[in-house]
Structure 1
């Protein structure tokens, strides 16, 4: 497997763990529930470990923009579907702008690793 492909797989794992950890943060109820709290800590640790692996081939700014942007979008989807939060038009616009920014950085910028 080439190093760029491995870096993006590592970034995907990092994002999945970050989103899971953030969801468990909600479930931990301000750290009052032990199992979700432990799960959250483990997920965040694994997320940062895989993010560091991704940084071997993806520049920090690009990796962090993808990690943060995709994480925000997925966490928002989970909060709407699982936790029944609602979004207004401004929240949806903000999320669309985040997605647009990540796409611009990856598709148009020469800074992204391709």
Structure 2
């Protein structure tokens, strides 16, 4: 299956945002004097960022129109949720990464859907 260049770039941006989210949230959760050491919020952002990576791979593999629309909406909600939670935790690097992820989602969602057409006898 051929994917467009914007689809690949969108996937890379979304995965990059997820990796940055996991790394910075775990750093903030584990490092003393960050203000959010051992808080459930920092751990939640790290887990949600890992879920974002899984959603990105699922969206990349989805071929049906309904499945793609559903995954795009769920991914958008997760991006907004992570960005808002990171802003409340004063981890603005994660919030900026989620804006980059939003750009990647827009690029990934612009990929045309190719249907598998079967010939019926």
Answer yes or no: same fold by TM over 0.5: no
Question: Structure 2-normalised TM-score?
Answer: 0.38
Q: Which has the larger radius of gyration?
A: 2
- The higher relative CO (CA closer than 8 Å, separation ≥ 6) is in 2
